[in-house]
Copies of this chain bind each other. A is one copy, B any other.
């Protein structure tokens, strides 16, 4: 059974396909009221919907945007996906979601596939990788898109020239460290993400900056590089305890790490925030539910992602190539408290 086409509608209405097209798209093109009625009636009667594949071929653009995520089942990316799909709908375009499973090879492949789909633009949601071939390919992709008037926007620094809607990762790392220092903590650990992810390394830099600024010495045994995951935080915290490190505060590079930390501390009957204060970056929904509720620098992912879609769809805006930096206010909850006494060495 064949789909109903614009021609079917034209035949039923007794007009040309041109007229039908005009009635449907060119809302303000002058068409006789009577003709318009006939056409609309035929459209309804046949339950006609324009074929996007034909429109897209003709228009040299598809009505889709691409979203590249690393792990869509992680609420971090889920929130982004929610915002993107919602805002895309508002613009009347659909969202093609490409989940890489954290494999850069997949990511590169998706770029080509999205290109073939003539997406209006691509939103990158993961942090830039510190690998030459990856960056080269991405750079090439960006150029290709720029040459054709569409855009790749990133929600995390890629270390490349392109539009961003992001946060200041270094400043945020500094901010959460400052927060603990201001509470009187002096021995502060930092549990970071993967070293080769730009976002992660920036947050570490902020941590070090804060220490220096306050005249505190950086202790390498209190810095840990791992994954942005519960397990990584859990393991890192256990190690700190096992090695009997001296500290009273822990900065976590993201919420997931903090969740793991809280569990590890709980298992050892260490009071949070009584003995150790924990702070992180993110503010995922779970952070209000976890015990104790997490003090965290809020990354307004949802708003950022909405804005990223705007940048793609609203390319006319003068600021379309400028970077938008969102603030990351600290949300005070119950996982942090003024310093009383710390852990370790005594």
A72 neighbours in B (Cβ, 8 Å):
72, 78, 81-82, 85
User: How many copies of this chain does one complex carry?
Assistant: 2
- CB of A104 within 8 Å of the partner chain: no
> How many of chain A's residues have a CB under 8 angstroms from any CB in B?
52
Q: Mark A20-42, 1 if CB is under 8 A from B, else 0.
A: 00000000000000000000000
Q: Please measure, in the bound complex, the distance between the C-alpha atom of A57 and the C-alpha atom of B51, giving whole angstroms.
A: 8
A71 to chain B, nearest CB (A): 7
Please determine whether B116 and A97 come into contact, CB atoms closer than 8 angstroms: no
A147 neighbours in B (Cβ, 8 Å):
1
- CB of A95 within 8 Å of the partner chain: yes
Please determine whether B263 and A116 come into contact, CB atoms closer than 8 angstroms: no
Please determine whether A106 and B78 come into contact, CB atoms closer than 8 angstroms: no
Q: Please measure, in the bound complex, the distance between the C-alpha atom of A56 and the C-alpha atom of B1, giving whole angstroms.
A: 17
A254 to chain B, nearest CB (A): 15
A57 neighbours in B (Cβ, 8 Å):
51, 53-54, 56-57
Once A57-B57, A72-B78, A289-B259 are accepted as A-B contacts, the answer to whether A52 and B117 lie under 8 Å apart by CB is: yes
- The 11 listed contacts between A and B (C-beta, < 8 Å) are A3-B60, A50-B116, A51-B118, A53-B53, A64-B96, A72-B81, A72-B85, A75-B75, A86-B101, A95-B96, A260-B289
